[in-house]
Structure 1
Amino acid sequence: MGLIIYRLSIFFYRIGIRLASLFSQKAKLFSQGRVGIFQKLEKWVGPDPAPIAWFHCASLGEFEQGRPIIESFRDQFPEVRILLTFFSPSGYEIRKNYPKADFICYLPLDTKENAYEWVRIVKPKIAFLIKYEFWHFYIQALKRNKTPVYSVSSIFRPDQIYFRRFSGFQRAILKNITYFFVQDKRSKELLSGIGIDKATVSGDTRFDRVFDICKDISEIPGLSDFIADKKVMVIGSCWPQDMEVLYPFIQKNPLKYIVAPHEIESGFIQEIIARSKKACALYSAGIGAWKDADVLIIDNIGMLSKLYQYGHAAYVGGSFGKGLHNILEAATFALPIFFGNKNYIKFNEAVTLEKKGGAFPIGSYESLQNTYNDIIKTDGLELRGKISRDYVKENLGATMHILDHIRTAIER
């Protein structure tokens, strides 16, 4: 029954995407990006006998999680070709020119025919699934090909389907994974509870990634002049729900603000300009336009990790909606971090930093203002920021742990 439901869900998902592509640019990219994919893949593979390592990410967040492994793998095993795939356009369209991979493409939907054709062409020597993305037919085809499959930086919660009654089909998918490198002890215990012991707690590779960003950071021309001698709040990956809390804070606090919306739609940006009631400038307008602005709005994608170096505090968006975005980039630059108090509990780093005193969930403008004032009056932003940075340093090393473990699979 589980397999029948799974097949039907993939079938209806494909139909839904085709219909949505008539109205949605994202759905259109999803469909068009998969056209002719097997021909392109076969052409790339060609007669080259070099082994292939396949890394699969759902989207951009998972890519950033897997990136330290990809880059360290490239350095340690230069003779192995790297195939990088994405499920979502929000990952592929931004990283389709990533130089550390040899071939980058969308992953076709998980049907038996697609999966077996994919593995027939690629014949990967090793496969890495970043965080989630447990596709039944692909994992089954890899097992048939005797390809070791590693789940990297995976994290599990008791409410997930794998740990419910009558979830034998979903559990069987996990049992075909060669090995799990999980983020925390609870995940390992959950796997053990369903009979999966081939797992180790390696931690979260994102800590390695954000720390590398901090070490190799370069300045953004003109931003120091925009900031002058004022304190700066960097508002990262914000949504309209986040800005409802932030508008009165921006209006009443004489800071400089760097705002990087999660979606750079012109309507949302115009709303930020209108409701901030401060002098605003777009990043694309150039350095000259920033001179007299209090709010700099980043109207492009991909800069956020560099922006935190200019902050004294950070607000990270998303948790008034589907879920909190990455706070570790802000943490590694020693910033106290604010975020909405609705949907952050499932993010370990947010819960841990809240307990340590480096992060602060807030539910309204008043709680944001009061918490900010309390920090200024007591410990100061610097001390709370140091807590954040120390937390990142304490959790480094997951990448090397994983690569040391899989070395035998590569070298055999």
Structure 2
Amino acid sequence: MLEIYDIGMRLGRRALLALAGTVRGENPSKFMRFACGQKKAVAEAVSVLSGLDRRRPTVWIHAASLGEFGIARPIIRQLKEKSDCNIVLTFFSPTGYESLKPKCPDGIDAVLYLPFDTSGNVKCFLDALKPDCAVFMVSEYWHGYLSELHKRGIPTLLVSAVIRESSPFFKWYGPLYRESISYFKEIFVLNDRSKDLLEGIDIKNVTVNGDPLFDNVSLVASTPWADKIVGNFADGHKVFIAGSLHDDEDLKMVTELANKHRDTRFIIVPHEIGGTIITHLREALDGKMLLYSQCNPETDFSDTQTLVIDFVGALAYIYRYATWAYVGGGFTKLLHSIIEPAVYGLPVAFGPNIDRKVVTRQMIDLGIGKSVSTSDELNTWFEGLKENPEKLREIAAVAADYVSKNSGATRRVVNKITENLCAKK
């Protein structure tokens, strides 16, 4: 079955490279940027990895996109504190690669695209990387990579996995996934149900662990950070922040809420910056809107209701300026991080597709989070909190306790990585 998968991957890669050759203009779409990234992925990896200090062991950490990097970030920080090693971070999505490649975060020795999962790419990439340990985030089951890592005896860990009855392991095409997940030396899952399901298909190396995202958001929240433009906009006002707005449903809900509450200031942070989203916001919002890029620290915001953040990478820090939050992606399968605003004690609303993440149900049960399906539901939730400082204080206290109780997962993952590094010496 792996051979059939490899043929499919090779055909897909060939199509991507053909598409990459058609890119024109200054602002290609995310998919076209991905295609261009794959065109250079192998050559770039070979070039960059040749400069690693081979006197140190190498840990490969793979995250699908910038969201999963939030899980990896505290792992990287603690790992660097405990071990003198190279850390190579790969992304499949252009969002993560483009955000971190220009300036590698502290502790990371290289940021690369993960080359497409073909047998040739896999062998070339691993020959150049020479990892001593590999760590995959959440649900990255790249069959070619996992099979080759297993053949080479490279210990591989899966972190923050959630397994459900609907997961691919239990589908008609499940045998390939069951074989691939068996190659992980250790699997850290987020709940007991995930462990039970994996043990039901004879996967025994499973540990129930918290989510390193809690450690990451705590680190971000405790990091001194300020933005003069955002601070000027928020100064003396309560601010509603809408982060990672993902699709038209998100935009409709938030813009209608802003139009109903013209006395409230809004910060909107689209998941991806593009002319279409900006045009939509300009057309939908009744109050004056400014882009961050149009402003400076002395900008007069007296008649401005909405500030749109038209750059990426700072959302987790900007939440500290807000009183209430809405997180996008909940009308798709890609609800973004609702822990990021919760760490600041904010009540958080999000769309109705909540089954993908364990924390959504937990936060709803605790009264921190609220799933909404319509603009009216979002408005009702907001109005119940808008002039209720006592309720806001109560939510802030519950959120702080929730984040505190779920912290510490990173340490257990890092301990397991360092154990494997020591075993290979």
Same fold (TM over 0.5): yes
| 1:264-303 correspondence to structure 2 within 5 Å | 264-285=273-294, 286-292=296-302, 293-303=304-314
State, as a whole percentage, how many aligned pairs show the same letter: 29
| 1:7-406 correspondence to structure 2 within 5 Å | 7-21=6-20, 22-23=22-23, 24=29, 25-34=32-41, 36-37=43-44, 39-41=46-48, 43-45=50-52, 48-78=54-84, 80-96=85-101, 97-99=103-105, 100-165=107-172, 167-238=174-245, 239-253=247-261, 254-285=263-294, 286-292=296-302, 293-341=304-352, 343-376=353-386, 380-406=391-417
Q: Is the 8 A contact 1:153 1:205 kept in 2?
A: yes
Q: Is the 8 A contact 2:42 2:124 kept in 1?
A: no
Q: Is the 8 A contact 1:163 1:190 kept in 2?
A: no
Q: 2:26 is matched with which residue?
A: none
1:337 is displaced (CA, Å) by: 0.5
CA distance in 2, matches of 1:268, 1:116: 40
Is 379-388 or 275-284 further displaced after alignment?
A: 379-388
Q: Is the 8 A contact 1:180 1:199 kept in 2?
A: yes
Bigger relative contact order (CA 8 A; separation at least 6): 2
Q: Is the 8 A contact 1:290 1:296 kept in 2?
A: no
SS at match of 1:278: coil
Is 20-29 or 304-313 further displaced after alignment?
A: 20-29
Is 117-126 or 247-256 further displaced after alignment?
A: 117-126
Q: Is the 8 A contact 1:29 1:89 kept in 2?
A: no
Distance 1:288 1:11, change over 3 A: same
SS at match of 2:47: helix
SS at match of 1:319: coil
Q: Is the 8 A contact 1:18 1:27 kept in 2?
A: no
Q: Is the 8 A contact 2:38 2:116 kept in 1?
A: no
SS at match of 1:168: helix
Structure 2 portions without partners, runs of 5+: 24-28
1:163 is displaced (CA, Å) by: 2.2
Is 61-70 or 18-27 further displaced after alignment?
A: 18-27
**CA RMSD of the aligned region, Å?**
2.0
1:344 is displaced (CA, Å) by: 1.9
* Letter of the 2:219 counterpart: D
Q: Is the 8 A contact 2:45 2:112 kept in 1?
A: no
1:295 is displaced (CA, Å) by: 0.8
CA distance in 1, matches of 2:266, 2:356: 28
SS at match of 1:409: helix
CA distance in 1, matches of 2:249, 2:364: 21
1:207 is displaced (CA, Å) by: 0.5
1:4 is displaced (CA, Å) by: 3.6
1:362 is displaced (CA, Å) by: 1.2
Is 159-168 or 94-103 further displaced after alignment?
A: 159-168
Count of matched residue pairs = 408
* Letter of the 1:194 counterpart: I
Deviating beyond 6 angstroms after TM superposition, the runs of 4 or more aligned structure 1 residues are none
Distance 1:365 1:118, change over 3 A: closer
Q: Is the 8 A contact 1:129 1:150 kept in 2?
A: yes
Is 212-221 or 164-173 further displaced after alignment?
A: 164-173
Query: What is the TM-score of this pair, normalised by structure 2?
Result: 0.90
1:45 is displaced (CA, Å) by: 4.1
1:377 is displaced (CA, Å) by: 6.3
Structure 1 portions without partners, runs of 5+: none
1:303 is displaced (CA, Å) by: 1.4
Deviation by residue 1:83-107 (Cα, 9 ceiling, x = unmatched): 2212221111111122321122112
CA distance in 2, matches of 1:89, 1:223: 26
